Structures are given as structure tokens and as C-alpha cells.
Amino acid sequence: MKRVGILTREENLNNKKILYIPKNIYNKLNGKAQVILIPFDFNDNFNKVKGIIDICDGIILPGGDDIYPLELEVAKYLHKLNKPLLGICLGMQTMGVAFNGKLGHLNTLAHKSKDKYVHSVDINKDSLLYSIIGKENIMVNSRHKDYVESTGLTIGAVCNGIIEEVEDKNKRCFIGMQWHPEDLKDENSEKLFNFFINKL
């Protein structure tokens, strides 16, 4: 079975620091790939996690609150290796910023909601995302306060001018989306995860 590394996130619970991964990402991979947690302190240098990344067949960068230099190095390293990378929300932002990108702050709450579906996304027909999903427009969830203003990666989808997906079609699987497909039980989300898994 292929191995997927997921970068952990940090949270304080009862005055204790815990490292975790989103349960629904694990659920999407359960039975399809072996999940390997990549624990790290965000102040670590890249070499401390490189060994774990090297034994994985692919990596997922999950959502979170802040981009750290270590995550930018992970994105660049995977791109160089041509090892599958799936970025979700902050993970997608990390990918965008890692390649000459710039992050901005939204002055609206239109993209931050706990609702199942929040807004539509327009997909470029020439994009990798379109080849995976086969639709020019889909409904997605959305809960982010920042966004990628610009990036050197290809932009595959937008919503009212906001970048919703980045990719590199020249790689086996280098794709990130601003929404959370792990929390949606629909055909589009299944296609995204299946694409990632099939490229491992």
C-alpha cells in the first residue's frame, strides 16, 4: 500500500500542545493509502522532516492558520522531486506563495462559513483541475481569511477574482485548492482524492 505523509498542525488542548491532522483527510485515505503523520515544530529546519518525506509516496498539506518557512521548503522540495502534493486551503496558499506568490487578506466574510456549500468556482477548461472534474463550474465550501494574490503557478480556478486553485500540469500531481474537499461527500471531491491517490 502506498504511503501518504500529512503535515501535522499544532493546537493547545487543556494547556497541552498537541499535533493533529484533520480527521476527514484521514477518512478520505483510509483503506486506500497508509497515512504517515509528519510531526514537526514549525521552527524546525527542513532536514528534520526530509527523511519522513522521502519514504512517502505523496504528501498532503492541510489547512491551518499561518504559513511557515518550513512548509514553503516542503512544497519546493516536492515540486523538484515530482512527488505528488495535494494542498488544501492553507496548503494551497503555501504552494502559491512558494513559487513567487504573494498572500493578501480578505476584507469580506463571503469566503468564510461553516455551511456545506458557500460559493461557486469557475474552472479553466485548459486546467488540470478541469481534466479531473470535467466541469467548468462547481459549488464548494469555504472558510479562509487570506488568499493568494499572485503566484508563478498556473491558476486553474477562481471565484470573483479570488484564486481558488493552483497547479503545475507538468508534474505528476502538484495541485492545491482553496476549499476543503475532505469535508464534502460529493463526486467532485472523490475525483480529486482519487486522482491524487492514483498518482502515488
For residue range 88-141, list pLDDT tens digits in order. 999 999 999 999 999 999 887 678 888 999 999 999 999 999 999 999 999 999
pTM equals: 0.95
Digit-coded pLDDT (tens) for 27-76? 999 999 999 999 877 677 788 899 999 999 999 999 998 898 999 999 99
- What own/partner pairs with CB < 8 Å and gap ≥ 24 does 118-124 have? 118/142, 118/143, 119/159, 119/160, 120/159, 121/157, 121/158, 121/159, 121/164, 121/165, 121/179, 122/157, 122/158, 122/159, 123/156, 123/157, 123/165, 124/155, 124/156, 124/157
